[in-house]
Amino acid sequence: MTTQPADEVWSRLDELSDDEVATLVEAAEHVLADLAEDDEPGAAMLAKMPVAHVGPALADTLREAGTDVDPDAVTALLRDTERSRLLAVEALRGISAEPVLAEQVAAAYRARREMMAIDPSLVLAGSLLLLVLKLKRIKVGKVDISFYEVREGALAQLRSLLGR
């Protein structure tokens, strides 16, 4: 497999196959959890939560942000492959706007693509979305990245898909 620049995967975000999106989501979850571990000790656990627990956690996060939703509706949304993909792509789009973070996620993505270590039928938008919504900031080397804009975009997409 040839090495590709980081922006290549980000420029094709809307065109990626479900397999590619799932691999990119897994890479993003891993990078975010690793980078956030010092400031958010539970970040790694967020990335490993099953969808049955992610739904209620996202519903709580939405409630904190001013939108009251049924946790079961959020869980059903996350289990819907098409709508879950929309959430994943929105969260990934926010990550791609941070060049230093985007490069690290793209490198992790390339490494995973070479290993092919993910189930291609699985799109894990819920855990990535929960990480993006729960993290306030992370440090990548000397760069301090705030998740405010990423959070707002992800919340807007989630509200839209839930009809709120």
In tens, the pLDDT along 22-72 reads 899 989 988 988 888 666 767 778 777 888 888 898 899 889 888 899 999
Higher per-residue pLDDT: 68 or 131: 68
User: CA-CA distances (angstroms) from residue 29 to 20, 35, 39, 103, 162?
Assistant: 14, 10, 16, 14, 23
**pLDDT, mean of residues 65-85:** 90
Q: For 81, list phi and psi in degrees, rounded to 5.
A: -55, -45
Q: Quick check: 87 and 129 in contact, CB under 8 A?
A: yes
Q: Residue 129 pLDDT > 60, yes or no?
A: yes
Render 58-91 in DSSP notation, one character per residue: HHHHHHHTT----HHHHHHHHH-HHHHHHHHHHH
pLDDT-derived band of residue 2, with 50, 70 and 90 as boundaries?
very low
Q: Residue 120 pLDDT > 50, yes or no?
A: no
